[in-house]
Amino acid sequence: MKNIILFGPPGSGKGTQAVKLAEKYNLLHISTGDMFREEIKNSTTLGKKAKEYMDKGELVPDEITIGMLKKRVESSGDCAGIIFDGFPRTEAQAEALDSMLSELENPIKALILLDVDDEEIVQRILKRAETSGRPDDANEGIIRNRIEVFNSETAPVFSYYNSKELAKKIKGVGSIEDIFSRLSAVMDEL
Ligand code: AMP
């Protein structure tokens, strides 16, 4: 099984590329951001709680996020692997993911970072706000907070997998197809 983490700051193109990779390599795409937005749409208790954090550009607490993700992974059934998009975002989430997957005897094969600089990200997300309808995309202060949270709380996840020699980095700038080719080259080597 090819279990992959697609990693990168908000607006780095993880969602777009994860959909394409899932199709090409027959992987199950799990996006915790999409799962939270679905819970919000359905006005669930979990959704209401998550929204308090998402609207400020903060991370939803680990115990909520890990519990939700674990249920999803356990009900994933037969697939050639999972592509994780937006998870793990803290070291505690990475440790929880590793222990979940080692129980299933299907560890993470690689974490791939889409490398994009902060100013490019702000511009991309403001542009995405025109069509995404996401409250956390529409305000520059919140976008900058999301980037800060990425740099302080999420970036250590790269080091965590790097120390296991599983972290790769590709340039996340260029056309969608260029970036997809770079990602496919990494996938084909795994
Ligand atoms: P995304 O769609 O991945 O940009 O996620 C949107 C928002 O959902 C984030 O800014 C967080 O508030 C929340 N979120 C998504 N995934 C996670 C996660 N793994 N841990 C904590 N919060 C998350």
Q: What string of H, E and C letters represents the secondary structure of 68-116?
A: HHHHHHHCCCCCCCEEEECCCCCHHHHHHHHHHHHHCCCCEEEEEEEEC
- Indicate if ligand 1 lies below 6 Å from the C-beta of 13: no
Which stretches within the chain are classed as H helix?
A: 14-25, 32-41, 45-54, 62-74, 91-103, 118-132, 140-149, 155-162, 176-189
Token match 């999409």: residue? Answer: 34
11 lines ligand 1 (CB under 6 A): no
pTM of the model: 0.97
Q: What is the pLDDT along the chain (190 residues), one digit of tens a residue?
A: 789 999 999 999 999 999 999 999 999 999 999 999 999 999 999 999 999 999 999 999 999 999 999 999 999 887 889 999 999 999 999 999 999 999 888 999 999 999 999 999 999 999 999 999 999 999 999 999 999 999 999 999 999 999 999 999 999 999 999 999 999 999 999 9
14 catalytically annotated: yes
The CA-to-CA distance between both ends of the chain, in Å, stands at: 11
Sign of CA pseudo-dihedral 45, 56, 121, 61: negative
User: Looking at ligand 1, which atom is closest to the CA of residue 87?
Assistant: 19
DSSP label of 135 = G
Helix (H, G, I), strand (E, B) or coil at 140: helix
Catalytic one of 2, 124, 146, 168: 146
Q: Is 154 in the pocket of ligand 1 (CB under 6 A)?
A: no
